[in-house]
A = this chain, B = another copy of it.
Protein backbone atom coordinates (compact mmCIF):
# COMPACT_ATOMS: atom_id res chain seq x y z
CA UNK A 1 0.00 0.00 0.00
CA UNK A 2 1.61 3.21 -1.16
CA UNK A 3 1.42 6.11 1.24
CA UNK A 4 -1.47 8.20 0.00
CA UNK A 5 -0.22 11.17 1.98
CA UNK A 6 2.36 13.31 0.22
CA UNK A 7 5.74 14.07 1.72
CA UNK A 8 4.83 17.72 1.76
CA UNK A 9 1.79 17.05 3.94
CA UNK A 10 3.83 14.89 6.26
CA UNK A 11 6.45 17.60 6.71
CA UNK A 12 3.76 20.22 7.09
CA UNK A 13 2.27 18.29 9.98
CA UNK A 14 5.63 17.47 11.54
CA UNK A 15 6.78 21.07 11.39
CA UNK A 16 3.55 22.31 12.97
CA UNK A 17 3.88 19.87 15.82
CA UNK A 18 7.54 20.69 16.28
CA UNK A 19 6.75 24.37 16.50
CA UNK A 20 3.83 24.01 18.86
CA UNK A 21 5.57 21.51 21.09
CA UNK A 22 8.40 23.99 21.56
CA UNK A 23 10.88 21.70 19.86
CA UNK A 24 11.54 24.56 17.49
CA UNK A 25 11.80 27.47 19.92
CA UNK A 26 9.77 30.58 19.31
CA UNK A 27 11.86 33.24 17.61
CA UNK A 28 14.55 30.81 16.54
CA UNK A 29 15.96 30.90 13.03
CA UNK A 30 16.33 27.86 10.81
CA UNK A 31 17.07 27.07 7.21
CA UNK A 32 15.35 24.90 4.67
CA UNK A 33 18.60 22.89 4.42
CA UNK A 34 18.67 22.15 8.15
CA UNK A 35 15.01 21.21 8.26
CA UNK A 36 15.35 19.00 5.20
CA UNK A 37 18.23 17.16 6.83
CA UNK A 38 16.30 16.90 10.08
CA UNK A 39 13.42 15.10 8.37
CA UNK A 40 15.58 13.18 5.90
CA UNK A 41 13.86 14.55 2.83
CA UNK A 42 14.88 16.96 0.11
CA UNK A 43 14.41 20.71 0.34
CA UNK A 44 11.43 20.85 -1.99
CA UNK A 45 8.71 19.38 0.25
CA UNK A 46 10.14 21.32 3.20
CA UNK A 47 9.93 24.48 1.21
CA UNK A 48 6.32 23.76 0.23
CA UNK A 49 5.38 23.09 3.84
CA UNK A 50 7.18 26.20 5.05
CA UNK A 51 5.35 28.33 2.51
CA UNK A 52 2.02 26.97 3.71
CA UNK A 53 2.94 27.55 7.35
CA UNK A 54 4.05 31.07 6.50
CA UNK A 55 0.60 31.68 5.02
CA UNK A 56 -1.02 30.77 8.33
CA UNK A 57 1.42 32.97 10.20
CA UNK A 58 3.31 30.31 12.13
CA UNK A 59 6.55 30.96 10.30
CA UNK A 60 8.10 34.05 8.86
CA UNK A 61 10.31 33.75 5.79
CA UNK A 62 13.28 36.10 5.72
CA UNK A 63 14.50 36.22 2.18
CA UNK A 64 17.91 34.66 1.67
CA UNK A 65 18.31 34.44 5.41
CA UNK A 66 16.09 31.76 6.88
CA UNK A 67 12.72 30.99 8.39
CA UNK A 68 11.86 32.34 11.84
CA UNK A 69 9.47 30.58 14.17
CA UNK A 70 6.72 32.89 15.27
CA UNK A 71 5.45 30.62 18.02
CA UNK A 72 2.00 31.16 19.49
CA UNK A 73 1.36 34.46 21.20
CA UNK A 74 -1.68 35.43 23.21
CA UNK A 75 -2.62 37.80 20.42
CA UNK A 76 -2.61 34.92 17.95
CA UNK A 77 -5.14 33.10 20.08
CA UNK A 78 -7.26 36.23 20.23
CA UNK A 79 -7.17 36.64 16.46
CA UNK A 80 -7.93 33.02 15.76
CA UNK A 81 -10.88 32.88 18.11
CA UNK A 82 -12.28 36.21 17.01
CA UNK A 83 -12.37 34.81 13.50
CA UNK A 84 -13.79 31.49 14.63
CA UNK A 85 -16.53 33.26 16.56
CA UNK A 86 -17.53 35.27 13.53
CA UNK A 87 -17.64 32.15 11.36
CA UNK A 88 -18.68 29.25 13.56
CA UNK A 89 -21.46 30.88 15.56
CA UNK A 90 -23.60 31.65 12.50
CA UNK A 91 -22.72 28.23 11.13
CA UNK A 92 -24.02 26.56 14.30
CA UNK A 93 -27.25 28.49 14.05
CA UNK A 94 -27.57 27.52 10.41
CA UNK A 95 -26.95 23.89 11.24
CA UNK A 96 -29.68 24.05 13.87
CA UNK A 97 -32.23 25.30 11.35
CA UNK A 98 -31.27 22.94 8.56
CA UNK A 99 -30.18 19.83 10.45
CA UNK A 100 -31.41 16.51 9.10
CA UNK A 101 -31.62 13.40 11.24
CA UNK A 102 -28.41 12.00 9.79
CA UNK A 103 -26.46 14.98 11.06
CA UNK A 104 -27.93 14.72 14.53
CA UNK A 105 -27.13 11.02 14.64
CA UNK A 106 -23.56 11.68 13.57
CA UNK A 107 -23.17 14.43 16.15
CA UNK A 108 -24.43 12.17 18.91
CA UNK A 109 -21.99 9.47 17.86
CA UNK A 110 -19.24 12.04 18.03
CA UNK A 111 -20.22 12.93 21.58
CA UNK A 112 -19.71 9.31 22.57
CA UNK A 113 -16.19 9.34 21.20
CA UNK A 114 -15.68 12.51 23.12
CA UNK A 115 -16.74 11.00 26.40
CA UNK A 116 -14.56 7.99 25.81
CA UNK A 117 -11.55 10.18 25.13
CA UNK A 118 -12.12 12.13 28.32
CA UNK A 119 -12.62 8.98 30.34
CA UNK A 120 -9.30 7.55 29.21
CA UNK A 121 -7.58 10.93 29.18
CA UNK A 122 -6.69 10.29 25.55
CA UNK A 123 -5.83 13.74 24.39
CA UNK A 124 -5.16 12.83 20.77
CA UNK A 125 -8.60 11.25 20.49
CA UNK A 126 -10.06 14.24 22.28
CA UNK A 127 -8.58 16.58 19.69
CA UNK A 128 -9.88 14.41 16.87
CA UNK A 129 -13.39 14.26 18.28
CA UNK A 130 -13.45 17.98 18.95
CA UNK A 131 -12.35 18.74 15.43
CA UNK A 132 -14.76 16.26 13.93
CA UNK A 133 -17.73 17.74 15.74
CA UNK A 134 -16.92 21.28 14.76
CA UNK A 135 -16.20 20.17 11.20
CA UNK A 136 -19.56 18.45 10.88
CA UNK A 137 -21.34 21.56 12.06
CA UNK A 138 -19.37 23.67 9.60
CA UNK A 139 -20.10 21.28 6.75
CA UNK A 140 -23.81 21.65 7.48
CA UNK A 141 -23.51 25.35 6.76
CA UNK A 142 -22.76 24.53 3.12
CA UNK A 143 -19.81 26.82 2.56
CA UNK A 144 -16.61 24.98 1.74
CA UNK A 145 -14.46 28.11 1.93
CA UNK A 146 -15.63 29.01 5.41
CA UNK A 147 -15.08 25.41 6.46
CA UNK A 148 -11.55 25.47 5.09
CA UNK A 149 -10.84 28.73 6.87
CA UNK A 150 -11.96 27.34 10.20
CA UNK A 151 -9.84 24.23 9.65
CA UNK A 152 -6.86 26.41 8.98
CA UNK A 153 -7.55 28.49 12.07
CA UNK A 154 -7.78 25.34 14.18
CA UNK A 155 -4.41 24.24 12.83
CA UNK A 156 -2.76 27.27 14.35
CA UNK A 157 -3.90 26.53 17.88
CA UNK A 158 -4.20 22.76 17.84
CA UNK A 159 -1.17 21.50 19.67
CA UNK A 160 -0.36 19.00 22.28
CA UNK A 161 1.93 21.26 24.21
CA UNK A 162 -0.60 23.98 24.68
CA UNK A 163 -3.31 21.79 26.08
CA UNK A 164 -1.44 19.45 28.32
CA UNK A 165 -1.56 21.46 31.53
CA UNK A 166 -4.56 20.78 33.74
CA UNK A 167 -5.79 18.11 31.41
CA UNK A 168 -8.34 16.15 33.37
CA UNK A 169 -10.17 19.21 34.55
CA UNK A 170 -10.30 21.21 31.35
CA UNK A 171 -10.94 18.32 29.00
CA UNK A 172 -14.05 17.38 30.91
CA UNK A 173 -15.21 20.98 31.06
CA UNK A 174 -14.81 21.39 27.32
CA UNK A 175 -16.61 18.15 26.67
CA UNK A 176 -19.56 19.27 28.76
CA UNK A 177 -19.86 22.41 26.66
CA UNK A 178 -20.37 20.40 23.50
CA UNK A 179 -23.35 18.37 24.63
CA UNK A 180 -25.82 21.24 24.93
CA UNK A 181 -24.74 22.48 21.49
CA UNK A 182 -25.70 19.15 19.95
CA UNK A 183 -28.93 19.20 21.93
CA UNK A 184 -29.76 22.65 20.58
CA UNK A 185 -29.09 21.48 17.02
CA UNK A 186 -31.21 18.38 17.58
CA UNK A 187 -34.01 20.59 18.94
CA UNK A 188 -33.68 22.84 15.87
CA UNK A 189 -33.11 25.79 18.12
CA UNK A 190 -30.75 28.11 16.24
CA UNK A 191 -30.62 30.85 18.86
CA UNK A 192 -29.59 28.43 21.56
CA UNK A 193 -27.07 26.74 19.27
CA UNK A 194 -25.49 30.09 18.45
CA UNK A 195 -25.37 31.21 22.07
CA UNK A 196 -23.91 27.92 23.27
CA UNK A 197 -21.33 27.83 20.49
CA UNK A 198 -20.35 31.37 21.35
CA UNK A 199 -19.96 30.56 25.03
CA UNK A 200 -17.98 27.43 24.20
CA UNK A 201 -15.55 29.24 21.94
CA UNK A 202 -15.10 32.10 24.38
CA UNK A 203 -14.46 29.66 27.19
CA UNK A 204 -11.93 27.76 25.12
CA UNK A 205 -10.23 30.95 24.00
CA UNK A 206 -9.83 32.30 27.52
CA UNK A 207 -8.45 28.97 28.65
CA UNK A 208 -5.93 28.89 25.82
CA UNK A 209 -4.93 32.49 26.34
CA UNK A 210 -4.21 31.84 29.98
CA UNK A 211 -2.08 28.80 29.18
CA UNK A 212 -0.16 30.59 26.44
CA UNK A 213 0.30 33.59 28.71
CA UNK A 214 1.66 31.38 31.44
CA UNK A 215 4.40 29.97 29.22
CA UNK A 216 5.24 33.20 27.43
CA UNK A 217 4.91 35.62 30.33
CA UNK A 218 2.40 37.74 28.47
CA UNK A 219 -0.71 39.34 29.87
CA UNK A 220 -4.18 38.18 28.93
CA UNK A 221 -6.26 40.98 27.35
CA UNK A 222 -8.57 42.11 30.06
CA UNK A 223 -11.95 42.58 28.46
CA UNK A 224 -12.32 39.72 26.08
CA UNK A 225 -14.14 39.12 23.82
CA UNK A 226 -13.63 42.70 22.75
CA UNK A 227 -15.60 45.08 20.65
CA UNK A 228 -15.13 43.24 17.36
CA UNK A 229 -17.16 40.37 18.68
CA UNK A 230 -19.75 42.42 20.50
CA UNK A 231 -20.46 44.27 17.30
CA UNK A 232 -20.92 41.11 15.31
CA UNK A 233 -24.65 41.29 15.91
CA UNK A 234 -24.86 43.99 13.28
CA UNK A 235 -24.77 41.66 10.29
- Interface, chain A (partner B; CB < 8 A): 48, 51-52, 55, 57, 78-80, 82-83, 85-87, 89-91, 93-94, 97-98, 141-146, 148-149, 153, 190-191, 193-195, 198, 227-229, 231-235
Q: Is the CB of B51 within 8 A of A85?
A: no
Which of A193, A227, A229, A234 has the most chain B CB atoms inside 10 A of its CB? Answer: A234
Nearest Cβ on chain B to A136's Cβ, whole angstroms: 16
Residue of B nearest to A201 (CB): B235
Q: Is the CB of A145 within 8 A of B57?
A: yes
**Dominant secondary structure at the A interface:** helix
Partner of A231, one of B48, B80, B93: B93
Q: Is the CB of A144 within 8 A of B79?
A: yes
The verdict on A235 contacting B90 (CB below 8 Å), with A51-B48, A227-B97 known, is: yes
**Alpha-carbon distance A195/B235, docked complex (angstroms):** 7
Nearest Cβ on chain B to A232's Cβ, whole angstroms: 4
Since A79-B143, A83-B87, A90-B228 are in contact, a sample of 20 more A-B pairs with Cβ atoms closer than 8 Å, ordered by chain A residue number, is: A48-B48, A51-B52, A79-B144, A82-B143, A82-B146, A86-B90, A86-B146, A86-B235, A89-B234, A90-B229, A90-B234, A91-B228, A97-B227, A97-B231, A142-B228, A190-B234, A229-B235, A232-B232, A232-B235, A235-B235
